[in-house]
Structure 1
Amino acid sequence: MLNTELESYLNKLLSISLFKDYAPNGLQIEGKRNIKTIVTGVTASQALIDEAIQLQADALLVHHGYFWPGESQILTGMKGERVRRLIKHDINLLAYHLPLDAHLSLGNNVQLGKQLGLEGIEPINPEDSQCLVFHGYLPEPMSAADFTSHIELALQRTPLISHHPEQKLRHIAWCTGGAQNYLQEAIEFGVDAYISGEVSEHTIHTARENNVVFYAAGHHATERYGIKVLGEWLQQQFNDLDVHFIDIDNPA
């Protein structure tokens, strides 16, 4: 497959034109024209690049790429080394941020819901193609403490819980990654609990004062699944591709 064909396919699949994002979606660094081996992972860190080099990958497909707002445009230091290594080994870098979060079958949010065994998974506003907050239901009511253990088992990461471990939960909302500021939307939607990857100091007060249990389950831990499933989808659609998911652990 040509790198331009892969980008065009992914851009259409993930509907990137619908999103106003923080960083460019699609091909960020151009490498070799023909692609056979793809490495997928959450973040285009040096460790993931090194794994891609070891596997002689032609492309690196990630959720967190480069060129974020507020970031220096100068390619020196850590960023310069990452880019040099990709260019030296002729590896394409493709990154999909919000479009991967929001996708209704392959995205981070729907995949987190499936990982947690929730039912009736859908965006809280299905008419908004850019909606990032999803909701669903536990098959049976569960105490907040038991749901903490359930999250830990499912994600292999102990979550922070805001309050009331004895509170009964059934209706859950969530948004993966650094989405603690969507808590108010979840509260207004009328859920029992809200899950995100990260937490801010004010998040806990908001959750407590609105009697909605908040969980911070890790940015990386909540966003492993979309990029993995996207790679598996590519493997299924194109038999000539060889796709490898590499999970570079990150406690954040």
Structure 2
Amino acid sequence: MRAKEIGEYLDSILKTKEIPDSSLNGLILDNSHDVKKIGFAVDFNIPAIQKGVEEKVDMIIFHHGPFWGTPLPLVGALYERFKLLFQNDIAVYVSHLPLDMHPEFGNNAYAMKLLEIEEHKEFGDYHGIKIGREFTFKEPRKLEDFLSLLEERIGKVILCWDFGKRVITKGAFVSGDAVSTLPEAIEKGLDVLVVGEPRHYAYSVAIDGKINVIFLGHYQSETLGLRAIAEHLREKFSLDYVFLPVPTGL
């Protein structure tokens, strides 16, 4: 299967062309041979690409790509990244907002699957687009139990602002840099907001709004959609895959 075919398929299921985004999404670099093994990485950087070379991948799917609105000259570190890709004939596909918000394969929807939360809907306005998921538990649960579930199913919680109720029934999950959705969560009377990375200004918003905010880290929270797409491509096209981890700790 060629990279162009994989790119077209992903564009169709993720609705890439329909979703406005500052990121240049889709197939941004082709290669000259069939794709049998795909690497998955959150960030477009030399360590991730080098891991792909070592794993002998034919294509890498990134969440954060190299181009954001303004065309960039291929010089310096950006040149070195593309040089590695060209030398090893590796294709590149990028999916940013489409992979955040997809109702099945998105970071936030896949979190609902991992956490076995059945009742959820759109949440989190970002330039007129809903990117997260608002959820309701079948039964109320203790905040500490939810924290344990997150660590068991997704990964380490890097920070928790426990400013709200100790027993929670409803919340929202928005991957990445998403504390901007905090006012919406407070307005809706949610008990907890799960996001990626913290921002200093949000502390006062959260403590005065009496809401719990859980931070999973930007990087970790945005590995989820990649995991979902990797499994889907393997099941549908029998494509081998490997993750190319370069965790930032943030």
TM-score (norm 1): 0.89
Tell me the CA shift for residue 134 of structure 1.
Answer: 0.8
Aligned equivalents of 1:65, 1:156: Cα separation in 2:
24
Contact 2:163/2:211 (<8 A) preserved: no
Query: 1:143 corresponds to which residue?
Result: 142
Superimposed CA distance per residue, residues 170-212 of structure 1 (whole angstroms, 9 cap, x where no aligned partner)? 1011210011101112222231111110111121111121222
Task: Give the SS at the match of 1:162.
Answer: strand
Residue identity in the other structure for 1:187: I
Which residue of structure 2 aligns with residue 93 of structure 1?
92
> Structure 1 residues 129 and 99, CA, compared in 2 at 3 Å: closer, same or farther?
farther
* Aligned-partner Cα distance in 1 for 2:134–2:158: 18
* Corresponding residue SS for 1:131: strand
Identify the residue that residue 54 of structure 2 maps to in structure 1: 54
Whichever residue aligns with residue 32 of structure 1, its letter is: S
Distance in 2, matches of 1:244 and 1:32, equals 20
Whole-angstrom CA distance in 1 between matches of 2:93 and 2:179:
26
Partner of 1:223: 222
- How far residue 130 of structure 1 moved from its aligned partner, in angstroms, is 3.6
Q: Is 1:247 the equivalent of 2:245? A: yes
Q: 1:104 to 1:118 in 2, by over 3 A?
A: same
The amino acid across from 1:57 in the alignment is V
Match for 1:44: what amino acid? F
The separation in 2 between residues aligned to 1:164 and 1:82, in whole angstroms, is 43
**Structure 1 residue 238 displacement after superposition:** 0.9
Q: SS state of the match for residue 101, structure 1?
A: helix
2: CA distance, partners of 1:3 / 1:151: 35
- Cα offsets for 1:198-251 (capped at 9, x unmatched): 111121111121222112210111111111110110111113x22223333331
- The answer as to whether partners of 1:145 and 1:166 remain within 8 angstroms in 2 is no
Tell me by how many angstroms 1:84 deviates: 0.7
Q: CA deviation at 1:52?
A: 1.3
- Tell me the SS of whatever aligns to 1:208: helix
Whether the aligned pair in 1 keeps the contact of 2:42 and 2:219 (CA below 8 Å) is yes
Q: Which residue of 2 aligns with 1:21?
A: 21
- Structure 2: 5+ residue stretches without partners: none
Instruction: After TM superposition, list the pairs within 5 Å mapping 1:34-49 onto structure 2.
Output: 34-49=34-49
Q: Do the aligned partners of 1:110 and 1:122 also contact (CA within 8 Å) in 2?
A: no
Mapped to 1, the partners of 2:245 and 2:236 lie a distance apart of 22
Alignment of 1:1-252 (within 5 A): 1-69=1-69, 73-124=72-123, 130-164=129-163, 167-239=166-238, 241-252=239-250
Report if aligned partners of 1:41, 1:228 keep a CA contact under 8 Å in 2: no
Task: String of CA shifts for 1:129-151, please: whole Å, max 9, x gaps.
Answer: 94112111234323334433332
Describe the superposition over 1:1-44 as per-residue Cα deviations: whole angstroms up to 9, x where unpaired. Answer: 12221111110110012211021110122222422221112222
Q: Which amino acid aligns with 1:245?
A: F
The number of aligned residues is 249
Report if the CA contact (8 A) 2:155-2:216 is conserved. no
What letter corresponds to residue 212 of structure 1 in structure 2? I
Distance 1:221 1:85 in 2: 25
2:66 aligned partner, one-letter code: Y
Q: Deviations over 1:65-103 (max 9, x none)?
A: 111246x81322322211110011110010100001111
Query: SS at the partner of 2:63?
Result: strand
What stretches of structure 1 of length at least 5 have no aligned partner? none
Q: Percent identity?
A: 28
Q: Distance in 1 between matches of 2:5 and 2:172?
A: 36
1:124 to partner: Cα distance = 3.2
SS of corresponding position for 2:135: strand
Give TM-score scaled by structure 2 length: 0.90
* SS of match in other structure, 1:84: helix
Of the structure 1 ranges 20-29 and 183-192, higher mean CA displacement relative to structure 2 is found in 183-192
SS in 1 for 2:150: helix
Distance 1:20 1:235 in 2: 28
Instruction: Give the superposition deviation at 1:152.
Output: 2.9
* 157-166 or 172-181: bigger deviation: 157-166
